Structure 1
Amino acid sequence: MLRFALIFIIGLSVVVGGRWYVYVSNTSSPYDEVGIEINSRLPHVLRKWGCDRLEQSFPNSVPPYGCGAPDSRSWI
């Protein structure tokens, strides 16, 4: 049972982490709903890294949820 739980947690981490990485390194749109949700729930260090990657790809876009400063118009 413990082995199954460990395999499940590792598999889920790989899938979610891979999905997040694909989102922050994409070049099509910063407004992917699943990517925004994953990114907005990560610890600050990972979220900041993801937001920096998105800002490099989309410097003139309004930042997605989780990447905006308090004014919601500029990047964090």
Structure 2
Amino acid sequence: MVRTIARVVFAIAIGVGVTFGYRWYDYVANATSPYDEVGIAINSRLPESLRAWGCSRLKERFAQSIPPYGCSDASGRGWR
């Protein structure tokens, strides 16, 4: 019984990870706007190395826009 519960929990965790991972990648690679609320929320909570990669992808595509939360410098108006 315990093994079955552990497998179900593991499968759910993998599913959630894949879902959020795909949603984040879709945001940084294919979004039509850097201001997608779900994408910003996921990106701002990732570890620094992933967030930096995501922000650099967004900056390449939307360099003339004000950066979204998590990708801005101290002033909040420039890309870091």
Give TM-score scaled by structure 1 length. 0.97
Q: Which one has a larger percent helix, Structure 1 or Structure 2?
A: 2
Q: 1:5 aligns with which of 1, 9, 13?
A: 9
Indicate the structure whose relative CO is greater, using CA pairs within 8 Å and at least 6 residues apart: 1
Q: CA contact under 8 A between 1:23 and 1:32: conserved in structure 2?
A: yes
* Matched length: 76
Answer with 1 or 2: which has the greater Rg. 2
Runs of 4+ in 1 over 6 A off after TM superposition: none
Give TM-score scaled by structure 2 length. 0.92
Unaligned runs of 5+ in 1: none
Question: Which secondary structure does the structure 2 equivalent of 1:29 belong to?
Answer: coil
What is the Cα-based RMSD across aligned positions, in Å? 0.7
Shift of 1:19: 0.2
